[in-house]
A and B are shown apart, each in its own frame.
Chain A
């Protein structure tokens, strides 16, 4: 193996430190998910076994999770089971929670990824155009559009889009998952808020960069506008946009709860909502845990990526 350069050493050190800082958050998330069942009004043994479970099963849950013992013992048992991949069984379907998560989580990632792609494909060009035509009607249009984008409930936009594009025009399927056409409407409605935020961010970042000396130099050299924008300005203007985009990806995971319910998308968000309604606590705990921990690690990845695309940033 080649000797690590100082930069690589910094990067590795920073990664390790960042992971260590994340540890208390993961621990905190575990505590919150653990307490969810214990603090809810009612008997946790019943929650874990299901409302209509026979008394013997409820008692088995009580012994298994030590529900008659102090909280720290219970927490130990909970984490112990978790480490072995035991998230319990759904009280509704009796399926292993881990199997449920394995089945539904990739669908949510697919949706979130689609939403992110659409948000970037529309948001970045919109922001660039608005910045290049600052204080014109185009700029106003993008600004107002992004204001409405962040102010619109995703589920409402989803319903309205479904009404026009699926029910009235019949262009796209109404709900469910399958072909690429199924992905369009859910991904657009989920990505709308991020699209607005990315457009805003690109616009302000672009405006800042366009005023800098090196852009003026590029223009003075006689380069064409297109080249100045794409080769010189955009490259630097996109750095904060990538960060915001990365953080938005995490937000999309929670937005998916609403979008998946609207479009009957078989993802983890819909699973979570259905389980809360059915008081299926093992599944609720499993889904919440998975979303929160994924979010923590996405944020770390964004942090590291930030330094990677902008060499001016030093890992300290």
Chain B
């Protein structure tokens, strides 16, 4: 028996390994993410974006579609002051009117902006939620245009808030199409090699011969314009990206010893692919998906801008921006704010993508 005074090196090693295991349950990449300022910044932006999507009708002061022609092209914060009639602090709003000659006039009476005011009635989640409470609004018969109005007198802020849902769904659907079609194609092509691989690769080469947004444009030209077709088109354009990525990863994992071992033990080929190869290909897929969300949002906004995507009056950011082009000199806010919203969200997904890449694959 060993001397109790001298610790057994093996036993103490095992014990310390067990201790460190119980101390940190989270995998290493999650711990890395938690420490990364890039990840924190990215997730904060995306979190904010998701909150906006989830609570859109509560956050948006007005309906995104309601037109008020007498308040066309109201500049941001027009008729707004930070002092009330008796000098009290707060946000006070006066009525803003555009005459038929195009002149803006500001009313006399000022009304305060309050939290949780009653406003237009809204229903959400297909009627599950219904209320007339808004996060903020004017306590009075005037409207508060924080970011101004567009050519139809619609509140820009409300439209941007409601447009967030469109951007998110474009991103999600694109990534879903890319993953559900591109990943299996890439995996089978890389794992089984041979003629299948050759044919699939030539198909992917062909799709990648249309640079950037061009493949999506070609598909929209074929399918027809509109938001649904844009989602499908941008999604299809993502397929070759995933297929190529997964194929390359599968090729590198395929020859590893543990895959050979699984094969030697008599596992079927498909089962080896699913159980042993694919889990090791997940990391690049996750990274790509975050970056792909960013690309999809940019592409869809581009198609909207070109007039090939969402149709008026949908509050799609790219489309809103294009409406601002004609009155750039007199109403620059119409083109400015939707663009800022796009940059903000795309930066968020790019940051998360970069952080994930650093965390999941430290070699890169």
A36-B221, A40-B221, A155-B322 given. 4 additional CB < 8 A pairs? A31-B206, A151-B343, A255-B213, A291-B211
Q: Mark B278-321, 1 if CB is under 8 A from A, else 0.
A: 00000000000000001000100110011110000000001001
Interface of B is mostly: helix
Provide 11 A-B residue pairs closer than 8 Å at the C-beta atoms, listed in order of the A residue. A24-B205, A25-B205, A29-B210, A36-B221, A163-B335, A167-B328, A253-B211, A255-B212, A288-B217, A288-B218, A295-B209
Query: CB distance B209 to A159 under 8 Å?
Result: no
Known A25-B209, A32-B218, A288-B210; contact A153-B318, beta-carbon cutoff 8 A: yes
Residues from chain A with a CB closer than 8 A to the CB of B321 are 153, 155-156, 159
List 5 tightest A-B contacts by C-beta distance, closest first: A28-B206, A156-B339, A254-B212, A151-B346, A254-B214
Q: Mark A250-268, 1 if CB is under 8 A from B, else 0.
A: 1101110110011000000
Interface assignment of B81: CB less than 8 Å from any CB of chain A? no
Size of the chain B interface, CB-CB below 8 angstroms: 45
Residues from chain B with a CB closer than 8 A to the CB of A29 are 206, 209-210
Interface assignment of A39: CB less than 8 Å from any CB of chain B? yes
Restricting to A268-313, which residues have a CB under 8 Å from any CB of B?
272-273, 276-277, 284, 288, 291-293, 295-296
Query: CB distance B335 to A156 under 8 Å?
Result: yes
Known A156-B321, A156-B343; contact A163-B332, beta-carbon cutoff 8 A: yes
Interface assignment of B59: CB less than 8 Å from any CB of chain A? no
Query: CB distance A257 to B213 under 8 Å?
Result: yes
Interface assignment of B158: CB less than 8 Å from any CB of chain A? no
Interface assignment of B351: CB less than 8 Å from any CB of chain A? yes
Restricting to A26-75, which residues have a CB under 8 Å from any CB of B?
26-29, 31-33, 35-36, 39-41
Which residue of A has the minimal Cβ distance to B299?
A153
Query: CB distance B339 to A153 under 8 Å?
Result: yes
Query: CB distance B214 to A156 under 8 Å?
Result: no
Query: CB distance B222 to A36 under 8 Å?
Result: yes
Checking B221, B223, B294, B335 against A284 with a beta-carbon cut-off of 8 angstroms, the contacting residue is: B221
Interface of A is mostly: helix
Interface assignment of B152: CB less than 8 Å from any CB of chain A? no
Query: CB distance A150 to B350 under 8 Å?
Result: yes
Query: CB distance B206 to A24 under 8 Å?
Result: yes
Interface assignment of A7: CB less than 8 Å from any CB of chain B? no
How far apart are the CA atoms of A28 and B211 in the complex, in Å?
A: 14
Query: CB distance B211 to A162 under 8 Å?
Result: no
Query: CB distance A40 to B305 under 8 Å?
Result: no
Restricting to A228-253, which residues have a CB under 8 Å from any CB of B?
250-251, 253
Checking B206, B220, B221, B347 against A151 with a beta-carbon cut-off of 8 angstroms, the contacting residue is: B347
How far apart are the CA atoms of A147 and B338 in the complex, in Å?
A: 19
- A residues lining the B interface (CB < 8 Å): 24-29, 31-33, 35-36, 39-41, 147-148, 150-157, 159-160, 162-163, 167, 250-251, 253-255, 257-258, 261-262, 272-273, 276-277, 284, 288, 291-293, 295-296
Residues from chain A with a CB closer than 8 A to the CB of B221 are 36, 40, 276, 284, 288
How far apart are the CA atoms of A264 and B210 in the complex, in Å?
A: 23
User: How many cross-chain pairs have Cβ atoms below 8 Å apart between A and B?
Assistant: 141
Query: CB distance B298 to A153 under 8 Å?
Result: yes
Query: CB distance A296 to B209 under 8 Å?
Result: yes
Q: Mark B200-231, 1 if CB is under 8 A from A, else 0.
A: 00110111011111100110111110000000
How far apart are the CA atoms of A162 and B322 in the complex, in Å?
A: 14
Checking A153, A257, A284 against B301 with a beta-carbon cut-off of 8 angstroms, the contacting residue is: A153
Residues from chain A with a CB closer than 8 A to the CB of B274 are none
Residues from chain B with a CB closer than 8 A to the CB of A148 are 343, 347
Which residue of B has the minimal Cβ distance to A295?
B211
Which residue of A has the minimal Cβ distance to B341?
A156
Query: CB distance B328 to A159 under 8 Å?
Result: yes
Interface assignment of B164: CB less than 8 Å from any CB of chain A? no
Query: CB distance B305 to A258 under 8 Å?
Result: yes
Known A150-B350, A156-B335; contact A28-B202, beta-carbon cutoff 8 A: yes
- Nearest Cβ distance between residue B49 and chain A, in whole angstroms? 13
Interface assignment of B336: CB less than 8 Å from any CB of chain A? yes
Residues from chain B with a CB closer than 8 A to the CB of A159 are 321, 324-325, 328, 335, 339
Known A160-B335, A255-B212; contact A39-B306, beta-carbon cutoff 8 A: no
Interface assignment of B329: CB less than 8 Å from any CB of chain A? yes
- Nearest Cβ distance between residue A267 and chain B, in whole angstroms? 14
Query: CB distance A28 to B209 under 8 Å?
Result: yes
Which residue of A has the minimal Cβ distance to B212?
A254
How far apart are the CA atoms of A217 and B209 in the complex, in Å?
A: 44
Which residue of A has the minimal Cβ distance to B218?
A288
Interface assignment of B342: CB less than 8 Å from any CB of chain A? yes
- Nearest Cβ distance between residue B200 and chain A, in whole angstroms? 12
Known A25-B202, A147-B351; contact A39-B301, beta-carbon cutoff 8 A: no
- Nearest Cβ distance between residue A264 and chain B, in whole angstroms? 11
Query: CB distance A153 to B302 under 8 Å?
Result: yes
Residues from chain B with a CB closer than 8 A to the CB of A255 are 212-213
Residues from chain B with a CB closer than 8 A to the CB of A147 are 347, 350-351, 354
